[in-house]
Structure 1
Amino acid sequence: MTLKRAAAFAALFLFTLTGFAQAQDVTLTSPDGQVELSGTLLGFDGEFYRLETVYGELTVDGSGVNCEGPACPNLQDFVAELSISGSATMGSVLMPALIEGFALRHGFRTERTSIGPTRFTYSLFNESSGKLAAEFQFRVTNTDEGFADLLANEADIVMALREIRPGERQRAREAGMGDMTQANRSRVLSLDAVVPIVSASNPVRSISPRQLAEVFAGRITNWVDLGGPDAPIDLHMLGADTGLGQAVEDQVLKPVNLSLSDTVLHHARGADLAQTVSKHPFAIGIASYAETGNAQVLTLKGTCGFSLQAARRTIKTEDYPLTAPMFLYIPARRLPKVGRDFLGYTRGPSAQILIRRAGFVDQAPEEVSIADQGNRFANAITTAGPEISLEELQRMTRTLTGMARLTTSFRFEAGSIRLDAQSRSNVQQLARALEIGKYDARRILFVGFSDGDGAAKANRDIALRRAEAVQRAVIAAAETANLDRLSLGVDAFGEALPMACDDSEWGRQANRRVEVWVR
């Protein structure tokens, strides 16, 4: 085969990646026998071969070639394989529940096989024929290990409790896996939160974000400084290499330039952490909202009187400031059809029900009537400064009366106009709802709010621009929606409806948001 002909043949291939298989040499030959390509078989998804060749890594349509070699798959009894690695919090409960639900809906029977302390496989059999159709191979460790497996080409999907780091993102791009921050490369599967926990016998019931940071930095060492007994504070959290441990560093300590104390006792599992804290009256831990066990969750308080309790609704809206989205990262490779079907299933309403039943926070939008938000409006009146006039509060009330707030909110990365990870996922979610006509014949209003740092008029202008930016992003993502069937609008009320105190970065971050209201 000449180099020119080989180059022409290679140009017909899609430069994407596929499934996961044992690497052996094979030869792919065109039906007329005029063109052949040899290389190491990296994977076959039932439709496409993935080869490492002298031309680089190529994906070849299996319908147009014949495969020769010991690694060539059995096309009639093909078994799809999907390798999933990362967070044990997600892999131990949430993902198995979703696979069971997916199998039930698509006519598969499941069989789980444990391979070791960190590995297990879900086998899916066709109910009608009894044949093995797919294997989901799990390695449950932590987020760092998941990304390491991805970069080593040993995982098709990463389960992560944090966003991909810049270094990991760069290495993935260099390996041909695409930009892992794009909408089609990452998605928020469900929501979690970082919550402080104590024993039910501990009299302390609230703590400020600043105090929480100072406790875990070793600045506050006695419960008496938190309104509790005169006793030393014992610190507990998950390992620093876990996604939740890294979320503590990013969301609790870094905003106030503090470092984690070396007296912290680290735990391998969230259940062990919660159990230990619940049994020791002088212990405090930072845990996953989904894994608090019998421990008491502390309310986050502010000096201005606001308090924020971690609950399903406050986590879903990100009103609770220490939210922790649970991600799936998918490289730019073609997954087997059963894998693509599974990922599609995770976005649907059936999956959202399973996510709630598993103890996590789903992403199904809910409507909260204005009657259920009396405390928010009471706080707005109580905390209104001299720059927030009665007329502005009345305008806000008139505008929103008769509408309901969606739990789908939009917030921005600290010091940036870029939407945060959960909000980028919310753009896609709301866009899909518009495409299927969920809000046809209704009015949707994107309402911008700000923190109170600066002049009220400038804050309202900034909030309005953010609301307009969110509306543009949703419209751009809703490519097939008929926008003539509904009414879209924007408004802003600046600092008129705060969620938290403005005396901390956590509070200001919670106050900078775009809400979605519907009528």
Structure 2
Amino acid sequence: MRLFRCAALAAALLSLPVAPARAQDVTLSSRDGSVEISGTLIGFDGEFYRVDTIYGPLTLDGQGVICTGPGCPGIEAHVARFRLSGTPVLGEVLMPALIETYADQHGLSVTRDRDGPGLRFVLSDRAAGHPVAEIDLSLVSTEEGFADLLAETADIVMAAREPRPDEIRRLREAGFGDLSDPARRRVVALDAIVPVVAPGHPVQEIAIDAMIGILTGQITDWSELGGPDAPLTVHLLDRQDGLQQAIALRLLDGASPTPAARRHSGAAALSAAVAADPLGVGLTRVSALGDAQQVPLTGGCGLRLVANRQSVKTEDYPFVAPLFLYTTARRQQLFAREFLDWLDTAPAQLVIRRAGFVDQLRDTIPFGRQGDRLGLAIAQAGPEVTLSDLQRLVAALAGAQRLSTTFRFREGGSAELDAQSFGNIGALARALEAGVFDGRTLIFAGFTDGDGPAEANLGIARLRAEAVHDAVRAVATAADLSRVALRVEAFGEALPIACDNSAWGGFINRRVEVWLR
């Protein structure tokens, strides 16, 4: 009885989105009959009752109580209702495809209707015919999505970037929790920021430093890039676009883009404009290339960085742009939680791939395909990274396969994992729990940039690899770790992806790779 009362009082602190219900009297009794609470039903979300009692509003778990009285709803009559608001990049094609596939796999029919600037999906039980869920998509912008969350006109934000400090602060002060907490975000799909030109353009690569110069207006003529003597035209997305805001934050680091840039309402429109402009150059999404041609970025030392499925998953391409769903600390309805959990499954990932985005299914890369990286490592070998260091690396990894699961850290030398890598922790842990790697060896291999003494970098690489190893083990609580070997190796600056003295070279060289033997 005491436990029941404590649970009820604790549950009363939860603030839940609930479907509107007609106010009627109900009595909620514990299943052993020892405690009864009477009051006016405020709402029922299919899982929790919210009742106005003499003690104030209480929220009670429907599985722990029996409802009696004229106001008791039928569980089968409940319709889950939740709203997503934010970037059309997610809302126009991908989320509708995911909702419809989820419904089909769960025996539900779907009706799609236009609801002003957004979409409404009604999911109904095929056998009984009654609706079980209504999902609204508001196609606005990432910025407006966070504003809708604050205004309580949305339950989930579709975001093309992480929330800004001011957005985090306002939502935290309003009681929605801390959106900087990794538990509040889910990476739905992966995309990338890529430079594009018209097909057949004579410039076939652009240095990262030069790309920044183009964006800020410091480079204005193609001749400065080895092209024709002609002025270049810069194409950028609208300032309110989430990807454009991510570009301003990640590439420009506070600098203002050139005011001469032509602005476009979306990535597809930008790609189409560049494809028709022989003197144009712009930044768009790899998922929205259209007829435009991606230009490889050079990171120094002759290496070319191209965004493709493998390089985006591993983040070997430096400008990956994850697409997020953000939720508050308030409990989501059961249907919404089950739908969000389903997004991690293989069928959902295949939908993501078919929609033109990069999925998060694990790929393997044989050691034999590391030729460019090994060549760069040998070319840079010297007093600090010696031939014996490279031989140790080859002995440890030869014959193994690199997983596309890679752990990277936030820019500026931070030891904090980036958003994509936080998701990788859970994915790798679930694979361990499912026995995917039973009888095999997983190697957590730490690497750093070349800034500082090689011996110190080797120690940093080991610490980071051990931290990732420990985090995966801590999450994989249901795994039988006696059936798999987990090893930590550190190679420091021995296997660079780009030259450290190039823009972003140091950032993409700091990583923990996972190898499977």
Confirm or deny a common fold (TM above 0.5): yes
Distance 1:319 1:55, change over 3 A: farther
Which residue in 1 is equivalent to 2:32? Answer: none
Which amino acid is 2:374 matched to? F
**1:113 equivalenced with 2:113 (yes/no):** yes
State the partner residue of 2:46: 46
Which has the larger displacement, 24-33 or 412-421? 24-33
Range with bigger deviation, 390-399 or 501-510: 501-510
Q: Which range is displaced more, 74-83 or 275-284?
A: 74-83
How many correspondences in the alignment?
Answer: 505
Deviation at 1:357, TM superposition (A): 0.8
CA contact (8 A) 2:108 2:125 kept: yes
**CA RMSD, Structure 1 to Structure 2 (Å):** 2.5
- Are residues 394 and 15 of structure 1, via their aligned partners in 2, closer, same or farther at CA, if it must alter by over 3 Å? same
Question: Is the partner of 1:408 in helix, strand or coil?
Answer: strand
Q: d(CA) in 2 for partners of 1:54 and 1:291?
A: 57
Aligned to 1:281: 278
Taking the aligned partners of 1:429 and 1:184, their CA distance within structure 2 comes to 14
- 1:309 to 2:306 alignment: yes
Partner Cα distance (1:10, 1:353) in 2:
42
Amino acid at match of 1:319: D
In the alignment, the residues of structure 2 paired with residue 20 and residue 317 of structure 1 have an alpha-carbon distance, to the nearest angstrom, of: 40
| Aligned AA (1:300) | L
The residue that corresponds to 1:177 in the other structure is 176
State the alpha-carbon separation in 2 of the partners of residues 161 and 338 from structure 1.
24
Number of the residue aligned with 1:3? none
Shift of 1:460: 1.2
- Range 172-181 or range 449-458, more displaced: 172-181
Question: Which residue of the partner structure matches residue 215 of structure 1?
Answer: 214
One-letter amino acid of the counterpart of residue 283, structure 1: G
TM-superposition CA deviations, 1:253-276 (whole Å, max 9, x none): 11xx53212222222222111111
Matches of 2:58 and 2:239, distance apart in 1: 38
Shift in alpha-carbon separation, 1:445–1:224, aligned structure 2, 3 A: same
The residue aligned with 1:97 is: 97
**1:214/1:258 contact within 8 Å kept:** no
For 2:243 and 2:452, locate their aligned partners in 1 and report how far apart those are by CA, in whole Å. Answer: 34
Deviations 1:395-420 (A, max 9, x none): 10111011100000001112311111
Three-state SS of the structure 2 residue aligned to 1:220 is coil
Amino-acid identity (%)? 45
Match of residue 504 from structure 1: 502
Structure 2 Cα separation of the partners of residues 12 and 463 of structure 1: 44
Equivalent-residue separation in structure 2 for 1:235 and 1:82 (angstroms): 40
Structure 2: how far apart are the matches of 1:89 and 1:57? 39
Q: State the match for 1:4 in structure 2.
A: none
> In the alignment, what sits opposite 1:397?
394
Structure-2 separation of matches of 1:262 and 1:73: 59
Residues 300 and 232 (structure 1), Cα distance of their counterparts in 2 relative to 1, 3 Å cut:
same
CA contact (8 A) 2:12 2:57 kept: no
Q: Distance in 1 between matches of 2:167 and 2:8?
A: 29
Q: Secondary structure at the match of 1:210?
A: helix
Q: Which residue in 2 is equivalent to 1:341?
A: 338
Q: For residue 328 of structure 2, what is the aligned residue in structure 1?
A: 331
Q: Quickly say closer, same or farther: Cα 1:223–1:51, change in 2 above 3 A.
A: farther
Q: Where in structure 1 are there 5+ consecutive unaligned residues? A: 1-6
Q: How many Å separate the matches in 2 of 1:509 and 1:237? A: 25
Alignment correspondent of 1:251: 250
Shift in alpha-carbon separation, 1:171–1:245, aligned structure 2, 3 A? same
User: What is the TM-score with the length of structure 1 in the denominator?
Assistant: 0.91
Please list every run of 5 or more consecutive structure 2 residues that lacks an aligned counterpart in the other structure: 30-34
Paired amino acid for 1:288: R
Post-superposition offset of 1:66 = 5.9
- Give the conservation status (yes or no) of the 8 Å contact 2:241–2:266: no
Counterpart of 1:438, as a letter, is V
CA distance 1:444–1:30, change in 2 (3 Å): same
Amino acid in structure 2 at the alignment position of 1:428: G
Structure 2 Cα separation of the partners of residues 498 and 313 of structure 1: 17
Counterpart position of 1:270: 267
Give me the whole-angstrom Cα distance separating, in 2, the residues matched to 1:21 and 1:456: 60
What is the Cα deviation at residue 16 of structure 1? Answer: 2.6
> C-alpha separation between the residues in 2 aligned to 1:54 and 1:331?
29
After the TM superposition, which of the residue ranges 505-514 and 335-344 deviates more from structure 2?
335-344
SS in 2 for 1:189: strand
Query: Who is 1:375 aligned against?
Result: 372
Q: Are residues 1:153 and 2:152 paired?
A: yes
Alignment TM-score, normalising by the size of structure 2: 0.91
On the 8 A contact 2:497/2:505 being kept in 1, the answer is: yes
C-alpha offsets along residues 335-364 of structure 1, whole Å, 9 cap, x if unaligned? Answer: 232222211210001111111111111111
- Residue identity opposite 1:394 in structure 2: Q
Q: Which residue of 2 aligns with 1:421?
A: 419
Counterpart selection for 1:360 from 352, 357, 360: 357
Q: How many angstroms apart in 2 are the aligned matches of 1:313 and 1:55?
A: 57
